[in-house]
Amino acid sequence: MDHLTVSFFLTRRCTSRCRHCGAWYAKSADYDFTQANLGRFIADVAKTPGIQAVGFSGGEVFVVKDVFDFAVDEARRLGLPFTFVTNASWAKTGAIARERLSRYVGTLGMGLSADSFHQEFIPVDRVVNAAKAAESLGIPYLVRATMRTSDSRAEIEKGLVAAGLPDPKRIAYAPVMYLGQAREKIDPSDFPDENPYAACLSLRTPFIFPNGDVYACCGEAGEIEGKHPLFLGNLNEARLADLVKKYETDPTLVAIYSEGPRALWDKTGRRPETMRDELLLRSPCGTCRLLFE
């Protein structure tokens, strides 16, 4: 649990409208990072002890390519290893994919996605083009496959290999969660019940929004309104080095990364009262929403 990877939520805009998306996408640039804020906040990250890498996500980072490239250049200048996530919708051919990704050689890793939700908008061959280009450039990558109850890993792997994915060991599987767009656009029976009594390994990944708000983990934490334990503070008012001290001192955060949200929920002695509560309880991040909203 020592890792501290800081994520920047560069934009809410995206080329796709996936039904399972955890972000509430925006059409306008109102929720994009500006270069000025990004430069200031990355400099703050570089001064924070223990930071191992910075990650850039959205939305789709290539919708704000100038801002994304600025972020990558700043990270390189300050000696911060970086990762990024893209939906690969731009990778129309292998040549286009290779040309675009060559700018990011040296990244710690690239995240892609391929599953039935993404494939409603993004042909799988674009993900394959990006994966092949990454392999040829020596860029580490993972392909995240989000699964509904009826999906099987074997079938997903078979489909991706048939489409040309070079290495099936690069597929990471995750259940679809009752969060974000999924709450309105996915049938309740599609949400698997996978909420183990386990520490959350995604905590200690400060997530920074364009207005400077810092949350303790993923985008879902930022969607829970008000001041709650997953809200660490704002970079316009405090240094990141001071905000991340809460991982050690806030008893709720300590409980989440030692016992996990499911165990914390049990300690409340409450029962889910509605179908919505039951669906939230099927995943760790949903349980955090139930605990903190």
| Cβ neighbours of residue 104 closer than 8 Å, sequence gap 6 or more | 72, 84, 110, 139
79/196 with CB nearer ligand SF4: 196
Distances (CA, A) of 21 to 87, 121, 151: 12, 12, 18
One of 87, 116, 129, 195 touching ligand SF4 (CB under 6 A): 87
Is 60 one of the binding residues for ligand SF4 (CB under 6 A)? Answer: yes
Is 175 one of the binding residues for ligand SF4 (CB under 6 A)? Answer: no
Residues in 115-134 that interact with ligand SF4 by CB under 6 A? 118
One of 53, 133, 256, 264 touching ligand SF4 (CB under 6 A): 256
Instruction: State in angstroms the smallest separation of the CB of 47 from ligand SF4.
Output: 25
25/33 with CB nearer ligand SF4: 25
136/278 with CB nearer ligand SF4: 278
147 contacts 190 by C-beta, under 8 angstroms:
no
165/261 with CB nearer ligand SF4: 261
Residues in 188-227 that interact with ligand SF4 by CB under 6 A? 200, 202-203, 217-218, 220-221
118 contacts 87 by C-beta, under 8 angstroms:
yes
162 contacts 148 by C-beta, under 8 angstroms:
no
Backbone dihedral angles phi then psi of residue 173, each to the nearest 5 degrees: -100, 145
One of 4, 6, 10, 23 touching ligand SF4 (CB under 6 A): 23
> Measured between alpha carbons, how far apart are the two ends of the chain, in Å?
25
Instruction: State in angstroms the smallest separation of the CB of 49 from ligand SF4.
Output: 22
Contact residues toward ligand SF4 (CB under 6 A) are 14, 16-18, 21, 23, 25, 58-60, 87, 118, 200, 202-203, 217-218, 220-221, 256, 261, 284-285, 288
